[in-house]
Amino acid sequence: MASRPTPASPKPVLTRPPDARPTVQIRTALIPYDDQRRAQMADYALRHYGVRSTVVHPERIVLHLTDSDTGDAAIAHFTANEPQLGELPGVCAHYLIDQDGTVRQLVPDTLMCRHVIGLNDRALGIEVVQRIGDDPRAAAEQVLARPAQVRSLLELLTVLLDRYQLPVNAVIGHAMANDDPAFVDLLGWRNDHTDWGPIEVGQVRSRL
């Protein structure tokens, strides 16, 4: 099976002032990720990226909406480790931001997490608590109008961008993943999610 090619990195744009030192309160709430789930993740990576590994090398940060009303509901879904599209492991994300602004880390940054087809080995995932409904763009706008939640989102993003020395346009939405230059899936899978499109993500980037 062919190894995953090295994609072009996003061009640095909208860089932050070098004296900015944002902080964010992060609660540790790690979901179960035992040896069996790690083995499932490694097998998934081999099938889809050509490398048996559970290590993520952050080049992107992908925004998601939970499509649930509470963070606890999303965490329960991630913890269940149920098959998705006929494969294990189940889905999860590295961080979750509740509507009151509480930030919880669910998976260590170093561990690959199944949250976006084609980029799991190169992306950290952030789930933002919000129902999607019939209009994903309107749902994201609700997040952007919620002061505590959007403040935590911006602070967390800024910390992660600084930690991994990434440009602001490394932040993308789930709806943007298929068109990202880093996207690779050896089985031909594609994302069908429409949450966090270019317009809403552009608003996030402009505020970083």
In this predicted model, what pLDDT tens digit does every residue of 96-124 receive, in sequence order?
999 999 999 999 999 999 999 999 999 99
DSSP output for 165-192? T--GGGEEEGGGGGGSTT---TT-----
- pLDDT at position 12 is 45
Name the CATH code of domain 26-206 (choices 3.40.80.10, 3.40.50.300, 3.40.718.10, 3.10.20.30). Answer: 3.40.80.10
The residue type at 137: R
Taking 90 as the threshold, does the pLDDT of residue 159 lie above it? Answer: yes
The residue type at 39: A
Taking 80 as the threshold, does the pLDDT of residue 7 lie above it? Answer: no
Q: How many CB atoms lie within 10 A of CB 105?
A: 17
The pTM of the full predicted model, rounded to 2 decimals, is 0.91
The residue type at 124: L
Cis peptide before 89 (omega within 30 of 0): yes
Distance CA(48)–CA(34), nearest Å, equals: 21
Name residue, tokens 């298929």. Answer: 178
Taking 80 as the threshold, does the pLDDT of residue 83 lie above it? Answer: yes
Q: Are 168 and 46 spatial neighbours (Cβ–Cβ below 8 Å)? A: no
Name residue, tokens 């309160």. Answer: 25
